[in-house]
Structure 1
Amino acid sequence: MQVTIVSSQPTLDSPPSPNPTPPSGGLGWHREESFDSSCSSRPGWLFKWTNYLKGYQRRWFVLSNGLLSYYRTQAEMGHTCRGTIPLATAHIELGDACHLLITNGGRSYHLKATSEPECQHWLSTLQQAKVNANALIHHSDDSGDEEGPGPHDARFLSQGALKTLASKLDDLSTCNELIGKHGAALQRSLSEFEDLRGCVDGADKLKTVNERAALFRITSNAMINACRDFLDVAQSHNRRWQKTLQHEQEQRHYLETTIEQLAKQHNSLETAWREKPTSYTGVQRSREVDESDENDEFFDAMEDAPSFITVNAETKRSGSSQSMMSGGDTSDSNHMQLRRTRRSRIPDKPNYSLNLWSIMKNCIGKDLSKIPMPVNFNEPLSMLQRLTEDVEYSELLDRAARCDSSLEQMCLVAAFSVSSYSTTIHRTSKPFNPLLGETYELDRLQEYGYRSICEQVSHHPPAAAHHVASQRGWTLWQHITIDSKFRGKYISVMPLGKIHLQFHSSGNHYVWSKVTSTVHNIIVGKLWIDQSGDIDIVNSTTKDTCHLKFSPYSYFSRDVPRKVTGMVEDIEGTAHYILSGTWDEKMESAKIVDSSQRSGGSEGKQKTVYQTLQPKLLWKKYPLPDNAENMHYFSSLALTLNEPEEGVAPTDSRMRPDQRLMEAGLWDEANTQKQRLEECQRLERKRREVQTMQAMEEGQEVEVYQPMWFEKRTDETTRESSYVYRGGYWEAKERQDWSMCPEIF
């Protein structure tokens, strides 16, 4: 709405119109409706960036009424919208190589077209849609429609209504000023007319009074009309807002009722499970043959793999399957008994308040390893100690070393790979970033027959090398690089590198990688962690394989949270075992005894039906220690990792002053020490960079940093370059000769 003043205060020399009448609608303003009220509309395919695992995915986009919505397929348009982008407040720009970037409300959408002309066409269409959407906001409908706004356009209607009301208020302000001016002029004219009564020029003064009275009448009528328009707009949108508010209140009440019911059901189930946990375990294992039951569909979430179903064969447990659990009880009881000899608690975590968003808001899209963080975000363990926790369930590898069957051995190795995530379910704090050259040893020869050594071999990017040697028939080594990114609402941690495991007697050599860890609710809500992705375990000796899928958590999924499924196949691709469980609780295996093809689903696709024996328990998580919630949710092993120990190297993580102070609850002092150590590390890195530049300028050989206990080699199996243990650490410890170690603390 624009306001145009068509009348002004006349002078004594300029006569008014013979019959002045107020213009229609008030003070002579008019509507400008020259814009195109129909927003641009366009459907089509574009590629949308999803994540680093899947990259760009093809999506069906629909542009309508200033909203860009996208779906996985065209068939989804009738029931499932994957997301909607309001273009009125969005920033649209053209990237490189057919890329489009749309930013709205702090979130960025990366889109890609198949060709340059198509990209330009989408760009012009989106920009026109944005212009039209903004025009709709400025010229929102004020007809008093009783129908309330929908969920997508409620915000646009509110913005348009506020701008319309603001425009009406400006009109009222203009009218008020004019009434004041014309009223004052009329009052002066009346006074002058009284003083000059009876004079010759009385007729001229009377004419002036009439002119000014006419202007005052015009302005007053305009004021009345403006007030009426303002009242109409306010009443119209007031009805809409009342309907919207009522709808929101109903939705809130419904959600509160639903959450209350879910909380009651969760409490009832938790109470029932604590009273009779075995009965619920039995329910999980009793899978009856029912072709119509949807629960028979197993592994349906796996992509790029044939869907299949499993049913239980009514057979007794075979001796080979039973052997997978043999000896487990003795090992577990000895494990728990020996653990009690070490410390079983650490000081309680202080209740420090911290505004998380005030620190994290400047870290979106950055590598967290390069950003200095206070210890409030940490747990009192280093990344090297967290890496050592991978062998908490080493008895799984002890049992695997005794297996005669490589396929049974693969099942236990798969369970071991899953078990390393069980400690992370409540561990949302980050470990300390190790300093370059920092080490950590874990000697458990007497208790469990193995000892472990870790070293930070690179700082940017952060990389650690790990070597574990066991007297019970196996050796494990890994070289892991951590890539972490903050995405605004969550943090993703992507471990890069391979884990190697070799059994001494058979020579079987297994290789696999880790999955992505994601910490959610960084801004609002309670922090929680999820593991998602695929693990492919390969026995490079026999070519047996195992594919594990960590299903990401979904609020709408009917699956068990933190679900893990898998299949063990031989070199011919024949399936022998089905694996199932959760990464925070347990893993089971079911031996396949028969398979057949069956048509299923609405599309009539063939499904493989596997007939299996009763599932056998491979691994189950140890219960957390008492008071774990006040001790960073550490497991029994984690509580002992930072326990002071004599004879370790001076570069050991136990010697870190900031980590030691944090464990003691002295967080302010820990922050001071952390800043000191990080500054010393930056100065040391700059010194090496200067030496490198000088050597290059003088044509000398550049000295590359060499770790103390590991060296870079090319792996014969994967043909990849990684750091492996060169030896000498345990011999140096036996001699107590640490003269070669740098001073990093």
Structure 2
Amino acid sequence: MPCNKGLFTGQQQNHNNTTKLSEQYTSINVSDMQTADLTAVVISVFRTQAEMGHTCRGTINLATANIAVEDSCNFVISNGGAQTYHLKASSEVERQRWITALELAKAKAVQMQAESDDSGDDFPAVSPNSGQGGDCRNTEIQSTLRTLNSKVEDLATCNDLIVKHGSALQRSLSELEGLRVAVDMGEKVKQVTERATLFRITSNAMINACRDFLSMAQSHSKRWQKALQTEREQRIRLEETLEQLAKQHNHLERAFRGATVLPPSFSNPALGNKGAVSGKADASDEDDDNEFFDAMEEPAEFITVPADPKYHRRSGSNISGISSETGTDDQSVNFDELSLASNPESPQPLELEPVRQRRTRIPDKPNYYLNLWSIMKNCIGKELSKIPMPVNFNEPLSMLQRLSEDLEYYELLDKAAKCHSSLEQMCYVAAFTVSSYSTTVHRTGKPFNPLLGETFELDRHRECGYRSLCEQVSHHPPAAAHHAFSEKGWTLRQEITLASKFRGKYLSIMPLGSIQCIFEKSNNHYSWKKVTTTVHNIIVGKLWIDQSGEIDVVNHKTGDRCHLKFAPYSYFSRDVPRKVTGVVTDKDGKAHYVLSGTWDEKMEFSKIMQSSKGENGTEGKQRTVYQTLKAKEIWRKNPLPEGAENMYYFSSLALTLNEPEEGVAPTDSRRRPDQRLMEEGHWDEANAEKQRLEEKQRSARREREKEAVKAASSPEEADAKEPGPASSEISDESAHPDTYQALWFEKIDDPVSGETLHIYKGGYWEAKEQGNWDLCSDIF
């Protein structure tokens, strides 16, 4: 076949670049290889350099080309048909280098053709919006990734060729070692030399490809590191800006609190707020921002003025209709002044045996920093009990122990039990209701979620005359039952389910369920609900707690009622922060007492001597004017112990709640290991232990579900069941097969509140006296 002499160039399809091989085939050398585009797809042939601009003598697609060796310096490129080109190198080494380079280009061409067949849009057109910053940046990133991917593919091709030529060289060496006739030795040595040269050229190509990839990767790495550093600097500036805003926020708050004169437009002494969150209803997300910071406050529904001096000069017996109440009031005030001077934790004077000395300190809180926002930013709108939180945001007490803290001011109920007037008794019960929030003002730590079946006893029978027991009776939703009774003649019981939502800027905690108090002597039965607790400044600033909403304390026997309002905190109110007001009325709606104060400091009550309708408020509502006797303090918060700021702001009672105690149930919160580790300052170990306990609880739930499904599907049980109302109960349990039953409490339909709740069924204190806890599950 005649030889087609001339020049040839490489052309890459879908691109405009053309690389020339500027020597004829008889003098192809290294400089040609350096100027050739060896990533070309098509080889074009020209007779002379002058023809390169207008006359092409033929082309060969490298993807389908055949490359063969003729002798030590010549090689052939053909398309398997009529076109064949014989090329000559200056030496055998240069021939091998050309063959290796052309094989690399052929492998690349085959790969590009396969990619083109798979997808015709590997290089999409620029969108009309690509001029925008974000789209341009995305296009640049995609282009960089494509380039790097191309280099990786080159490395893969070189690696394949190295494997191919290395295997061939290994076979030739094996054949050379196996020769026994010296005649064929020269031919085999020549073959080994050729293949070694080919392997060396392929290895050099791999080295060059690696060098190119490394250079490009380092270049782009510097750009990405610079972009990352820019993002870090912007984040630091943002954090500094937020910190400055928080400082300005706190500065403005301090300046406002220190101001003594306000503009007339803010002089309205509001006692409530319509926007406050009720304890019975959830607020909408759209109104949440205005709910706690609305400067337009509702006018007061009533105002109080000092009663006429004649009421002070008269005795209680001269006032018609309320003589017994007035007389009782005078007696109760004297009793109040005496009783409030005593410490609730101090021993009774008549105690014959020495009272146990309770601890007054716990280990200081470690200074472990963890950003709350970093965890909660992905939890907006979720239920708090379903958010996995590390112990870093907890306090070393469980929710059961926090419920038991409601009894810190138990003496209010002791006094209420001695009252002869139900209306006066209502004042003490209302004050007790408010006092339960006094411990929350600085307590921003989250209590531990109790495990199902966890209990907590507070046995202060010798010191204070009461015993208290809490049990976690449900896990989803989390519900705790509480029962306390006193030898002074009162019983307190409650079942609380916490509904909580994280709103982004703040956290709302809505306790669901009712609290009931029964007095044995009078048989008065009171009930009320809790208000909404809000944790502010989740994102920036210092966390702070607010209580807002309304409470109706109802005496179901007499029909008496006390309506309490917890005013939400407002920067623009002239009233004292955390204000609480209330009016005690009888079954006919007649007002008898007014209560006022703050839920974090003290409460006072005043007897109403006369009431009248006053002038209209700013919204046209007529306000009631109450003429009252001088206010008497009914409750005052106990001072915090020394160093409380380093001990989670625990009160004197809270410091004793997790103190180890002998004889308690194995399910008692004091025995909970993760809580104990946190109290001792071992937070990492506490987090690990917390995860173990939660997984153990999940495993126990799965086992109960399996047992429930197995029991429901057994034929003996199916035959024992008769059709009727019970069938719906079976279907309900099938849908929710966790049939856990509380150990010390039983579920009933309460005729007073109309709710289904758990009440104490007995047996706990008897089991404690006997030291028999066989019924308790292993939950720790």
Question: Which residue of 2 is the match for residue 26 of structure 1?
Answer: none
1:130-180 CA-partner distances (Å, limit 9, x unpaired)? xxxxxxxx99xxxxxxxxxxxxxxxxxxxx9x98xx9xxxxxxxxxxxxxx
Question: Which residue of 1 is the match for residue 700 of structure 2?
Answer: 684
Secondary structure at the aligned position of 1:476 is classed as strand
Question: Which residue of 1 is the match for residue 304 of structure 2?
Answer: 310
Q: Could you tell me which of 456, 478, 484 is aligned with 1:462?
A: 478
Q: Say whether the 8 Å CA contact 1:300–1:308 is kept in structure 2.
A: no
How much identity, in percent, do the aligned residues show? 63
Q: Whole-Å Cα distance in 1 between the matches of residues 572 and 254 of structure 2?
A: 17
Q: Could you tell me which of 688, 693, 697 is aligned with 2:709?
A: 693
Pair 1:348–1:262, CA change in 2 (3 A): same
Q: How does 1:326-405 map to 2 (within 5 A)?
A: 326-332=334-340, 333-338=342-347, 341-405=357-421
1:360-403 CA-partner distances (Å, limit 9, x unpaired)? 11211111212221110110000000000011100000000011
2:360 counterpart of 1:325: no
Question: Which residue of 1 is the match for residue 749 of structure 2?
Answer: 714
Secondary structure at the aligned position of 1:388 is classed as helix
Q: Could you tell me which of 753, 758, 779 is aligned with 1:723?
A: 758
1:393-430 CA-partner distances (Å, limit 9, x unpaired)? 00000000011111110011000000000000000111
Q: Say whether the 8 Å CA contact 1:544–1:570 is kept in structure 2.
A: yes
Q: Could you tell me which of 727, 733, 737 is aligned with 2:768?
A: 733
Q: Say whether the 8 Å CA contact 1:296–1:309 is kept in structure 2.
A: no
Q: Say whether the 8 Å CA contact 1:438–1:744 is kept in structure 2.
A: yes
Q: How many residues align?
A: 482
Q: Say whether the 8 Å CA contact 2:299–2:618 is kept in structure 1.
A: no
Pair 1:255–1:503, CA change in 2 (3 A): closer
1:241-285 CA-partner distances (Å, limit 9, x unpaired)? xxxxxxxx9xx999989975864786899xxxxxxxxxxxxxxxx
Q: What is the TM-score normalised by the length of structure 1?
A: 0.60
Q: Whole-Å Cα distance in 2 between the matches of residues 404 and 314 of structure 1?
A: 27
Pair 1:259–1:421, CA change in 2 (3 A): closer
Provide the alpha-carbon RMSD of the alignment.
3.3
Q: Whole-Å Cα distance in 2 between the matches of residues 334 and 634 of structure 1?
A: 17
1:314-347 CA-partner distances (Å, limit 9, x unpaired)? 4439643333333335444252534993110000
Question: Which residue of 2 is the match for residue 113 of structure 1?
Answer: none
2:667 counterpart of 1:651: yes
Pair 1:626–1:385, CA change in 2 (3 A): same
Q: Whole-Å Cα distance in 2 between the matches of residues 550 and 433 of structure 1?
A: 26
Letter in 2 for 1:583: W
Pair 1:262–1:422, CA change in 2 (3 A): closer
Q: Could you tell me which of 431, 441, 455 is aligned with 1:439?
A: 455
Question: Which residue of 2 is the match for residue 480 of structure 1?
Answer: 496
Q: Whole-Å Cα distance in 2 between the matches of residues 593 and 352 of structure 1?
A: 56
Q: Whole-Å Cα distance in 1 between the matches of residues 759 and 358 of structure 2?
A: 30
Pair 1:307–1:648, CA change in 2 (3 A): same
Pair 1:573–1:709, CA change in 2 (3 A): same
Pair 1:623–1:340, CA change in 2 (3 A): farther
Q: Whole-Å Cα distance in 2 between the matches of residues 727 and 577 of structure 1?
A: 38
1:693 Cα deviation after fit = 2.6
1:718 Cα deviation after fit = 1.5
Pair 1:524–1:735, CA change in 2 (3 A): same
1:181-223 CA-partner distances (Å, limit 9, x unpaired)? xxxxxxxxxxxxxxxxxxxxxxxxxxxxxxxxxxxxxxxxxxx
Q: Whole-Å Cα distance in 2 between the matches of residues 630 and 657 of structure 1?
A: 22
Pair 1:603–1:329, CA change in 2 (3 A): closer
Comparing 501-510 and 353-362, the one that deviates more: 353-362
2:702 counterpart of 1:667: no
Letter in 2 for 1:722: L
Q: Which runs of 5+ in 1 are unaligned?
A: 1-137, 140-159, 167-248, 270-292
Letter in 1 for 2:771: Q
Pair 1:401–1:364, CA change in 2 (3 A): same
Q: Whole-Å Cα distance in 2 between the matches of residues 652 and 336 of structure 1?
A: 22
Q: Whole-Å Cα distance in 2 between the matches of residues 574 and 697 of structure 1?
A: 60
Question: Which residue of 2 is the match for residue 600 of structure 1?
Answer: 616
Secondary structure at the aligned position of 1:392 is classed as helix
1:482-536 CA-partner distances (Å, limit 9, x unpaired)? 1111111111111110101000100000000011111111111110111111111
Q: How does 1:26-45 map to 2 (within 5 A)?
A: none
Letter in 2 for 1:726: K
Pair 1:660–1:298, CA change in 2 (3 A): closer
1:560 Cα deviation after fit = 1.5
1:570-621 CA-partner distances (Å, limit 9, x unpaired)? 0001111111111111111111111122333456553322111111111110
1:523-552 CA-partner distances (Å, limit 9, x unpaired)? 111101111111111000000001111111
Secondary structure at the aligned position of 2:754 is classed as coil
Question: Which residue of 2 is the match for residue 531 of structure 1?
Answer: 547
Q: Could you tell me which of 493, 518, 541 is aligned with 1:502?
A: 518
Pair 1:302–1:538, CA change in 2 (3 A): farther
2:570 counterpart of 1:554: yes
Comparing 311-320 and 571-580, the one that deviates more: 311-320
Q: How does 1:212-223 map to 2 (within 5 A)?
A: none
Comparing 644-653 and 710-719, the one that deviates more: 710-719
Comparing 601-610 and 421-430, the one that deviates more: 601-610
Pair 1:526–1:407, CA change in 2 (3 A): same
Secondary structure at the aligned position of 1:326 is classed as helix
Secondary structure at the aligned position of 2:409 is classed as coil
Q: Whole-Å Cα distance in 1 between the matches of residues 681 and 693 of structure 2?
A: 19
Comparing 293-302 and 711-720, the one that deviates more: 293-302
Q: Say whether the 8 Å CA contact 2:516–2:526 is kept in structure 1.
A: yes
Q: Whole-Å Cα distance in 2 between the matches of residues 295 and 485 of structure 1?
A: 32
Question: Which residue of 2 is the match for residue 70 of structure 1?
Answer: none
Pair 1:536–1:257, CA change in 2 (3 A): closer
1:691 Cα deviation after fit = 2.1
1:692-715 CA-partner distances (Å, limit 9, x unpaired)? 233333354768211110000111
Pair 1:420–1:554, CA change in 2 (3 A): same
Q: Say whether the 8 Å CA contact 2:482–2:493 is kept in structure 1.
A: yes
Q: What is the TM-score normalised by the length of structure 2?
A: 0.58
Q: Whole-Å Cα distance in 2 between the matches of residues 400 and 388 of structure 1?
A: 19
Pair 1:602–1:452, CA change in 2 (3 A): closer
Q: Could you tell me which of 643, 649, 656 is aligned with 1:627?
A: 643
1:356 Cα deviation after fit = 1.6
Letter in 2 for 1:625: P
Pair 1:716–1:256, CA change in 2 (3 A): closer
Q: Whole-Å Cα distance in 2 between the matches of residues 627 and 665 of structure 1?
A: 17
Pair 1:693–1:397, CA change in 2 (3 A): same
Q: Say whether the 8 Å CA contact 2:457–2:470 is kept in structure 1.
A: yes
Secondary structure at the aligned position of 2:462 is classed as helix
Comparing 630-639 and 685-694, the one that deviates more: 685-694
Q: Whole-Å Cα distance in 1 between the matches of residues 772 and 248 of structure 2?
A: 67
Pair 1:610–1:301, CA change in 2 (3 A): farther
Q: Say whether the 8 Å CA contact 1:298–1:310 is kept in structure 2.
A: no
Pair 1:604–1:674, CA change in 2 (3 A): closer
Pair 1:532–1:254, CA change in 2 (3 A): closer
1:437 Cα deviation after fit = 0.5
